[in-house]
Amino acid sequence: MSKNIILYAAILVFGITAPFIFPAFKVQLSILCVLIVLALTWNIQGGEMGYNTFGNILFYGLGMYLCASVQVGMFFPLAEWTESGGEKTFVHTPAQFFQGMAVGLVVAAVVPTIVAGLIGYAILGLRGHYFAICTLGLGVAAGEISGGIEIIGAGQGFTTPPFPDVGGLEARGEFFYLLSFVALVLTFITVRAIYSTRFKLILNAIRDNEDKAEAMGIQTMKYKIIGWMISAFFCGLAGGIMGGLVGYIDSTDVAFDGREMGVFMVLMAILGGKGTLWGPVIGATVFHIFKEGFWTFFLGWQYVALGVLIVVIVIYFPEGIMGWLREKYPERFGEVVDEADRKAQVELK
Amino acid sequence: MDFMVFQYPMISVQACLDGILLGILFALVAYGMALQWGVMNIINIAQGDLVILGGYIAYFMYLYGIHPAWGVIIAPIIMFFVGVGLYKLVINKVVDRDLFISILATFGISILFMQLMNFAFGADVVLANSGYGTTFLFDSAVVLPNSKIFSAFISILFAICLVVYMKKSKLGRAIRATAQNSRAAKILGVDTEKVYAATFGINAALCGVAGALISITFTIHPYMGLPYTIRSFMIVIVAGLGNLPGVALSGMGLGVFEEFADYILGTEFRIGAVFLLLVLILVYRRFKLSRKREYLK
């Protein structure tokens, strides 16, 4: 146990000091935090509950639009802001910016949670691949529809309020890094806490055999909806932060980007190992490093690489890094291994 | 919102006819989807991208001076081999696995195809001009391009050929046997691996025909694949597997729905309406099934 505390403390210290050690990578580190949040929340559905969703992007995009809209709408007319394409007609004072951001993030987290609760009963009743395709449709539909709504910028996009003139570019990077790191810590603590309760066991029971779980007297629908609402909360929060970080929201390319972010979160969780606590964190980190390397050196071919990567990971590496480690070093995971049995297995291979 | 479509009845007639002709094309793609879903138990997200690839084959023939209608014959031949190659490379590894694996793997293929087509053919919206002219009905109140009528006719022709082939030929019998029970078919000497490859090839060929026709009648673009996948998925779940008249009817219904959505909501919401309809159908289906379950109790 004490080893774990040292590990967590080390990560926390590293997380806080990272933007000062690597000042050039502040934005990348913030994006990494957001990606880890998304992978962790996807894992609640895909890994623990067995409901493979493509639809968490819905909450992410919703949070992004809501945060920016609230931030602008609190002080200026929203329609005129988007009409002018974010030109410097209106300027937020620093106080306005931070107030708007704070309220915006709360709204961005709470509203998707409510949405998840409302649609949960209808959507989560679907099983297996019907659920996967339905959530895929939901994400794309949200992107297409938000791309037609005039007040949030329609096809030309929505420029989020620029960071106020306090400390320049450095301060902007540090502010958003801090925000995303706090979101990451919050998510991790929450996820870790719920994974040590009965709630996780119920989710696993749903994954392993939902009908049996129901027959055992578990109200599966209730727990599925609660699980989805927890995901939606943090997805919305992550979306709100990402919107401010990117500075520009487009309906299909940034917010409801099923082709990028929607697949990334699935891929990261599977790469790290679904159904584990640390899997999504490791998967997201490895994926982000790989992605940035590829995006930088082979610009233009990134989607080709992404497509190949998806196929390779899904077919040849479905158990992920954690699953592979678990098979290799079962003792580290607290599993008792019979030596003779193991030798026999090695000989068989 | 624009309700002009209800004030002028001729616009409704136009929308219905357009929708039916379009729906027949959708039904052709959906038939391929039903085939592979029924036989191999995989859901192919890259279906729409195969359609678009078929469209580009016809478009290239048009660019090099061959009439694009010949694409209806060339595209399925090329696409058959593309399909078999795809099966040998990727699909054969996901056949026996969980359906989600196949969804995710074909999603990867879809992204790959999208981007490769974007590199190879550019990101412009293109159209192969067939030069077939137009037909005017009801004192020029309803305008139908002849290419649409041509494409509907060809789709029906291909569908009939395929049905006859599946009923009569040896391979068709093997495919149907594998769909019913792959283990039993294997025991009785059917080479299921070959059957799977052929099924995926036939599916790709159907996509090729549909794509060639779409490039003549409508427009194609590298990123337009996913809506076709979703449409065919929707048609298949409404009609059920192995119900060909149902596939044709629900395809036409979807076409008419889309045309009306286009008129009433505006073109920018057309794709959104299709995806929302998918969600609604699935949710409706879920409530219908859950009622049935309670009834059985």
Q: Is residue A279 part of a domain?
A: yes
Q: Is residue A307 part of a domain?
A: no
CATH of the domain at A57: 1.10.3470
B286 Cβ under 8 Å from any chain A Cβ: yes
Q: Cα distance from B92 to chain A (closest Cα, Å)?
A: 10
- A234-291 pLDDT, tens per residue? 999 999 998 888 888 887 777 787 777 888 888 888 888 888 888 888 889 888 888 8
**Angle in degrees, CA B104, B109, B113, rounded to 5:** 150
pLDDT for B14 beyond 60: yes
Q: What is the mean pLDDT of the segment spanning B276-294?
A: 80
Return the pLDDT at B297: 40
Query: For chain A, what percent of residues have pLDDT higher than 70?
Result: 92
**Angle in degrees, CA B47, B51, B54, rounded to 5:** 135
Return the pLDDT at B296: 43
Of the partner residues B226, B276, B286, the one whose CB lies closest to the CB of residue A122: B286
Q: What is the mean pLDDT of the segment spanning B232-241?
A: 85
Return the pLDDT at B205: 92
Give residues with Cβ within 8 angstroms of B43, minimum separation 6. A129, A133, B33, B37, B99, B102, B103, B106, B233
* Model pTM score: 0.86
Torsion angles phi and psi, residue B191, rounded to 5: -80, 90
| ipTM exceeding the 0.85 mark | no
Of the partner residues B90, B107, B278, the one whose CB lies closest to the CB of residue A263: B107
Q: Is the distance from CB of B146 to CB of B132 less than 8 angstroms?
A: yes
Query: For chain B, what percent of residues have pLDDT higher than 70?
Result: 93
Q: What is the mean pLDDT of the segment spanning A280-304?
A: 82
Instruction: Give the pLDDT band (50/70/90) at residue A335.
Output: low
pLDDT for A332 beyond 80: no
pLDDT for B294 beyond 60: no
Q: Is residue A289 part of a domain?
A: yes
Q: Is residue A34 part of a domain?
A: yes
A260 Cβ under 8 Å from any chain B Cβ: no
Instruction: Give the pLDDT band (50/70/90) at residue A233.
Output: very high
Q: Which of A117, A128, A141 is nearest to A55 (CA)?
A: A141
Return the pLDDT at B51: 92
Q: Is the distance from CB of B55 to CB of B263 less than 8 angstroms?
A: no
Q: What is the domain range of residue A178?
A: 25-302
Q: Angle formed by the axes of helices B270-296 and B225-239, to 10°?
A: 30
Q: Which of B200, B205, B234 is nearest to B36 (CA)?
A: B200
**Angle in degrees, CA B156, B157, B163, rounded to 5:** 85
CATH of the domain at B105: 1.10.3470
Instruction: Give the pLDDT band (50/70/90) at residue A88.
Output: low
Q: Is residue A188 part of a domain?
A: yes
- Alpha carbon separation from A268 to A12, A40, A75, A302, A326 (Å, rounded): 22, 9, 38, 16, 18
The full DSSP string for B51-113 is: HHHHHHHHHHHHHTTS-GGGHHHHHHHHHHHHHHHHHHHTGGGTTTS-HHHHHHHHHHHHHHH
Distance, CA of A313 to CA of A307 (rounded, Å): 10
pLDDT for B58 beyond 60: yes
pLDDT for B1 beyond 60: no
B291 Cβ under 8 Å from any chain A Cβ: no
Residue B160: how many other CB atoms lie within 10 Å: 11
B104 Cβ under 8 Å from any chain A Cβ: yes
pLDDT for A312 beyond 70: yes
- Residue A126, by phi and psi: left (phi above 0), alpha (psi -120 to 50) or beta? beta
- B178-221 pLDDT, tens per residue? 888 888 888 888 888 888 999 999 999 999 999 888 888 888 88
Q: Is residue A89 part of a domain?
A: yes
Distance, CA of B94 to CA of A312 (rounded, Å): 12
pLDDT for B4 beyond 70: no
- B114-127 pLDDT, tens per residue? 888 888 887 777 77
pLDDT for B139 beyond 70: no
Instruction: Give the pLDDT band (50/70/90) at residue A321.
Output: confident
Question: What mean pLDDT value characterizes chain A?
Answer: 83
pLDDT for A108 beyond 70: yes
Q: Is B143 helix (H, G, I), strand (E, B) or coil?
A: strand
Q: Name the domain count of chain B.
A: 1
Q: Is residue A144 part of a domain?
A: yes
Given the DSSP bridges, would you call strands B134-137 and B142-145 parallel, antiparallel or unpaired? antiparallel
Of the partner residues A148, A154, A306, the one whose CB lies closest to the CB of residue B272: A148
Q: Name the domain count of chain A.
A: 1
Q: What is the domain range of residue B227?
A: 4-296
Q: Is the distance from CB of A195 to CB of A22 less than 8 angstroms?
A: no
Q: Is residue A270 part of a domain?
A: yes
pLDDT for A319 beyond 70: yes
